[in-house]
Amino acid sequence: MSKVKKDFDWDLVEGKGFGGNYTEDQKAQMEAAIEATLNSVTEKEVVKGVVVSKTDREVIVNIGFKSDGLVSASEFRDMPDLKAGDEVEVYIENQEDANGQLILSRKLAKVMGAWTNIEKALEEDTIINGFVKRRTKGGLIVDIFGIEAFLPGSQIDVKPIRDFDIFVGKNMEVKVVKINHTNDNVVVSHKVLIEKDLEAQRQLILNNLDKGQVLEGVIKNMTNFGVFIDLGGVDGLLHITDISWGRINHPQEVLKLDQKIQVVVLDFDENKKRISLGMKQLQAHPWEALATEVEVGSKVKGKIVNVADYGAFLEVLPGVEGLIHVSEMSWSQHLRNPQDFLKVGDEMEAVVLTLDRSERKMSLGIKQLTEDPWNKTDLLSKYAVGTKHKGTVRNLTNFGLFLELEEGIDGLVHVSDLSWTKKIKHPSEFVKVGDSLDVIVIELDADNRRLALGHKQLEENPWDTFESVFTVGSVHKATVISKNDKMATLELPYGIEGLAALKQLTKADESVAEAGEALDFVVTEFHKEDRKIILSHTRTFSGAPVEEVKVEKKKATKTTEKTATVTAEKSTMGDIGALSALKEQMEGAEREQAIKKLEKKSKKAE
């Protein structure tokens, strides 16, 4: 339709053969008739039009406006058979551009129409036929009404989809589940269509479900604790412990995805729709196949399938296991980590210690494959009293330490049998766990598996010599080691310790000796059996007499006392003097000899 100006100037044609015979009223009527043939259009809306003509570049469309509109021919590529007279929907972009031309768009009309259809589909919950264009991260891109919508992977099917590519290039029915107008995003779902169909089937299965019922299902998902089985609209869990009577670490060792398997219903919760399934229950328990020859004392072979802190499990048959407690792995009395003896996968032999077929429990031992060291024929001679050995310190206690002489043979070294000279309160002051120690057998009790050992007994008792060196009244250099509320500990020559009351540390200037000071001390008491020496520094300058403390001896009998009294009465003053001089001479020589002996031993130790 050619363009007609709205405010036509009739004066231009008057008197020139056109409109000259029209009155003013007739002119107004004609303008009104022309206006009536034109539509009133609004920009940014979708209208229907008729194709007037078509060229390679443009398509002219009449929408009933005062002028025809132009649309790019590229927007009709999906309509190769388009011809004049066909009706199409177009979008009014501009009523009049710079050239006075009406601008239309079929592409925008399709978009606007698509969004209208999408919103209607969401509102009315209708099913849309879409086309899967491509896969993307986490799902698929589906074309609906010319708009690209996102189909998440979790919304494709009720079961997990591992290969999205199989859907690309295919049609798929979907429902609109979400529209984000801010970002112009549309989310669709195919899963909701399947779930609706499955709901009736699921309810039917649940209504007919019963414990002990055997069903066929497909493995839809696999985890480290079990697999989920699709029973035809209802999912059930097959726990890893119910897959096989034998021990497995992961379901994939015996099963695979999409595999069809037979399962039995163990339990189900109708309210929570949880179904527990079993697979091993369809087979006889392997304990029933355990040979009758297997009994306490017999030997069995198997493979280690698990190692724990307390022991290891030996699989004799698939599903038949026995526990080897760590205490049954070695004759040693000291429990160690089971991994020190064996590891998963080891094949070995063991002895049956206990067997309960009704409870399906069995305990095994591997140390029983070797002879008990306490039952060896040479035990009494090998560890006879007085024999010397070297062992490893395995444990420390308040009263002593346990020494392992060989696997299964332990002995106790009491804390008092560690040193002749040092007063050891705890074995940790002398040795540590893992150290080697030379010992001598003090006592052997094979029946009760007891062995008493000593370390200090490897040397002569130096207190026999000290008795002659540290005589009462003798003076020795000593160092104050420590002090408490009442006593001080002193270090004497030859590595022995002595004691002194705090008041006996007073020096000539009335000050008190402190720890670390070295002073002369007088021996005031000597106790051989208690291995105790009492000293005093104050006596070195005070001149106070030192009362001699007699060495502990067996109590004399009354007869001996009488004899001594008679002898004393008969003795003359000359005899007593001579004896006293002889005694002092002998003690001096004995003391000198003892000192030389100690010095020789000290040099040897160095």
User: What single-letter amino acid sits at 423?
Assistant: K
Amino acid sitting at position 449: R
Angle of CA points 95, 97, 101, to nearest 5°? 70
- Give the span between the Cα atoms of 174 and 128, in whole angstroms: 5
- As a residue count, the chain comes to 606
Q: What CA–CA distance (Å, rounded) separates 269 from 206?
A: 10
How far is residue 382 from each of residues 170, 317, 410, measured CA to CA in Å? 88, 43, 14
Secondary structure element (H or E) that encloses residue 175, with its range? strand 171-180
Residues contacting 120, CB < 8 A, separation 6+: 126
pLDDT for the residue numbered 557: 41
DSSP 193: H
424-440: string of b/e by CB count within 10 Å (b at 16+)?
beebeebbeeeeebebb
Interstrand relation of 235-239 and 274-278 (parallel, antiparallel or unpaired): parallel
Q: How far is CA 19 from the centre of its chain?
A: 102
Cα gap 575→100, rounded to integer Å: 162
CA 382/CA 589 separation, integer angstroms? 43
110, 115, 119, 122 alpha-carbon torsion, rounded to 10°: 90
Give 10-residue mean pLDDT values along the chain (606 residues): 45 52 67 54 70 84 76 76 80 67 74 79 86 89 86 82 85 87 84 76 74 88 90 84 85 90 86 81 81 88 90 88 90 79 90 89 91 88 92 92 90 90 87 93 91 90 83 92 92 88 92 92 90 91 60 40 38 38 49 56 51
Q: Shortest CA distance to 140 belongs to which of 180, 189, 105, 97?
A: 189
Report strand pairing: 235-239 vs 260-269: unpaired
- According to the model, what pLDDT value does residue 573 have? 36
Tokens found for residue 303: 């493979």
The 3-state secondary structure of 226-258 reads: EEEEECCCCEEEEEHHHCCCCCCCCHHHCCCCC
- Strand, helix or coil for residue 547: coil
Q: What is the pTM of this model?
A: 0.42
For the record, the structure tokens of 420 come out as 């002749």
Planar angle of CA 99, 104, 110, nearest 5 degrees: 165
What are the residues whose beta carbons fall under 8 Å from the beta carbon of 57, sequence distance 6 or more? 72, 73
For residue 523, give the H/E element and its range.
Answer: strand 518-527
DSSP-assigned letter for residue 18: S
pLDDT at 156: 85
Q: Are strands 518-527 and 532-536 parallel, antiparallel or unpaired?
A: antiparallel
Query: What sign for the dihedral angle of Cα 502, 505, 508, 513?
Result: negative
Cα distances (angstroms) measured from residue 393 to each of 145, 282, 396, 432, 441 = 85, 55, 8, 7, 15
Taking the C-alpha atoms of residue 97 and residue 105, their distance in angstroms, rounded to an integer, is 14
Residues forming beta bridges with residue 187, ordered by sequence position: 150, 178
pLDDT of residue 272: 58
| pLDDT at residue 25, rounded to an integer | 72
Asked whether 365 and 351 are in contact (CB, 8 A), the reply is yes
> What was the pLDDT predicted at 106?
74
